[in-house]
Amino acid sequence: MKDLVQEQLARSIAVMQSVLADDTIADAVVRAGEFTAKAMKSGRKLMIAGNGGSAADAQHLAGEFVCRLTVNRPALRAIALTTDSSIMTAAGNDYGYVHVFERQIEALGQEGDVFLGISTSGNSPNLMKALEKCREMGILTVGYTGNGGGTMAALCDINVIIPSGVTMNIQESHLALEHIFCMVVERAYFGPEFGREPQILSE
């Protein structure tokens, strides 16, 4: 079992090293963060969605924006579209699960908002519908994917594609880059020196 632990850690590290070596990923995270900060300064918001583990990521990331990541600061406007069980079940029941995020974007989205879709495969049908709706409404789209970007890549203005086809390794890199995305937004919003000395916080 010890070999299993070490083997899986080595695979996780190898994927993260590939992410670190890929300048296009860093550039995409910076672009997404700077645009999101600009949108928030204009009174717009970040909407986030995903399925399964990526739904948990969406909620986790929204919590970092609304509360804090490493430093106390004013709340930043972000919402996970995965949390309202009445909306999710009504949309799923009445229109089909493929429309659960699209319907919320239609109701809550505004031109100039940012939508972040998280999918390890890049092929989630409900995220595809959401991305199409965003294009209709003038909402910037960011995709966090793996697997070469999948079918989502063509509908995203900014793509962060993890160079792996293994779901758990993609998710590990997504989480790290979601935290970094939040940091980029903070520094673009509050100033370049913000958060350089993180506080030790407990949950």
179 labeled part of a ligand binding site: yes
For residue range 95-126, list pLDDT tens digits in order. Answer: 999 999 999 999 999 999 999 999 999 999 99
pLDDT at 201 exceeding the cut of 90: no
51 labeled part of a ligand binding site: yes
119 labeled part of a ligand binding site: yes
> For 48-55, what is the mean pLDDT?
98
pLDDT at 203 exceeding the cut of 70: no
pLDDT of residue 111: 98
For residue range 138-174, list pLDDT tens digits in order. Answer: 999 999 999 999 999 999 999 999 999 999 999 999 9
Quick one: what percent of the chain has pLDDT higher than 70? 97
18 labeled part of a ligand binding site: no
For residue range 6-45, list pLDDT tens digits in order. Answer: 999 999 999 999 999 999 999 999 999 999 999 999 999 9
59 labeled part of a ligand binding site: no
Tokens for 141, please give them: 């789209």
Instruction: Give me the phi and psi of 63, to 5 degrees please.
Output: -60, -40
143 labeled part of a ligand binding site: no
Three-state helix/strand/coil letters over 77-118: CEEECCCCHHHHHHHHHHCCHHHHHHHHHHHHCCCCCEEEEE
pLDDT of residue 39: 98
60 labeled part of a ligand binding site: yes
pLDDT of residue 192: 84
202 labeled part of a ligand binding site: no
121 labeled part of a ligand binding site: yes
Mean pLDDT score across all residues of the chain: 96
pLDDT at 133 exceeding the cut of 70: yes
pLDDT of residue 14: 97
145 labeled part of a ligand binding site: no
53 labeled part of a ligand binding site: yes
120 labeled part of a ligand binding site: yes
The domains located in the chain, with CATH, are 2-190 (3.40.50.10490)
pLDDT at 200 exceeding the cut of 70: no
120 Cβ contact partners less than 8 Å away, ≥ 6 residues apart: 53, 54, 145, 146, 147, 162, 167, 170, 171, 174
